[in-house]
Amino acid sequence: MDKVRRIDRLISLTKVLSDMPNYLFSLNYFCELFGTAKSTISEDILTIKQVVHQAELGTLETVSGAAGGVRFIPGKSKEAAYKVLSDLAEQLSTPERIIPGGFLYMSDVLFTPRLMVEIGEIFMNRFQKLAPDYIVTIETKGIPLAFMTARAFNLPLVIVRQGSKVTEGPSVSINYVTGSTKRIQTMSLPRRAIAAGSRVLVIDDFMKAGGTAQGIAELVQEVNSEVVGTGVLVATAEPAEKLVEDYQALLILHEVDQHTKKVDIRPAIY
């Protein structure tokens, strides 16, 4: 192949690494891609690593050894993450988002890819030390958020069903009581979806009392695995005590008043 200029190589390297966060690329992969020596690729990676660090875009991690390589771990400073959440809180605070029943319309936000990529990376930064094996969510509007979190981690996404599907084979099902409405509902998980002994991170879009999150934790236990963390985009300030103790919310919804058209939602302090 024709010799690739260094500037073109740097741009291509950055694109490949950022498109697949947390994926470990071998140096040989890039050597074959650009038809150049390993020492040259190493110099390119060092340059990109310095720029990524200076711009606070994340980390370029190099792994030594025969099975090693390089991977891009996206990241934001606390200030940058807070800016994203503050802007989102402001966007969700408009009176037009209040819908009958005192609910908050969030579907357009949850289905905006650019924003969900950013939120997914914030969740990844928060829960990275827990070293999960799977990202799990329930089949609701939170799927795009959980999927982008799984992308940031480079982990598989598992979706808990509200009822079983014959196309997914044998499943484990449980009945659970929703924390807000106190209704009994059913959720199920295919037996082959999560390997026994796995560490699971639950991601969801909204939490009021925590009944759904508690149900998922019980369901995960039924397949001999463990929920190591729970992340939600929005949690209500009341009730203050949820059915799950160990969770992290990015935004706290303090009030939705249909009469005054007031929405009070703020970033969680961290």
Show which of 48, 74, 100 is a domain's final residue: 74
**Integer CA distances (angstroms), 156 to 149, 194, 195, 201, 254, in order:** 10, 10, 12, 11, 33
CATH number at residue 66: 1.10.10.10
Q: Give the dihedral of Cα atoms 209, 175, 134, 87; nearest 10 deg.
A: -30
Residue-wise pLDDT for 43-93, tens only, equals 999 999 999 999 999 999 999 887 789 999 999 899 999 999 999 999 999
- Does 97 or 65 have the greater pLDDT score? 97
112, 47: one domain: no
Q: How many domains does the chain have?
A: 2
Cα distance between the two ends of the chain: 50
CATH number at residue 168: 3.40.50.2020
68, 163: one domain: no
84, 70: one domain: no
Tokens of 135: 């990202």
Q: Please tell me the pTM assigned to this model.
A: 0.92
Show which of 34, 52, 74 is a domain's final residue: 74
At residue 206, the pLDDT reads 95
Kindly state whether residue 1 falls inside one of the protein's structural domains. Answer: no
User: Is the per-residue pLDDT at 123 higher than 90?
Assistant: yes
Q: Which domain holds residue 117?
A: 78-267
At residue 135, the pLDDT reads 98
User: Is the per-residue pLDDT at 168 higher than 90?
Assistant: no
In the chain, the amino acid numbered 127 is F
- Does 254 or 179 have the greater pLDDT score? 254
* Category of 32 on φ-ψ map: left (φ > 0), alpha (ψ -120 to 50) or beta: alpha
At residue 16, the pLDDT reads 97
The least confident of 164-178, 227-241, 250-264 is 164-178
55, 82: one domain: no
Confidence band for 1, pLDDT divided at 50, 70 and 90: low
47, 117: one domain: no
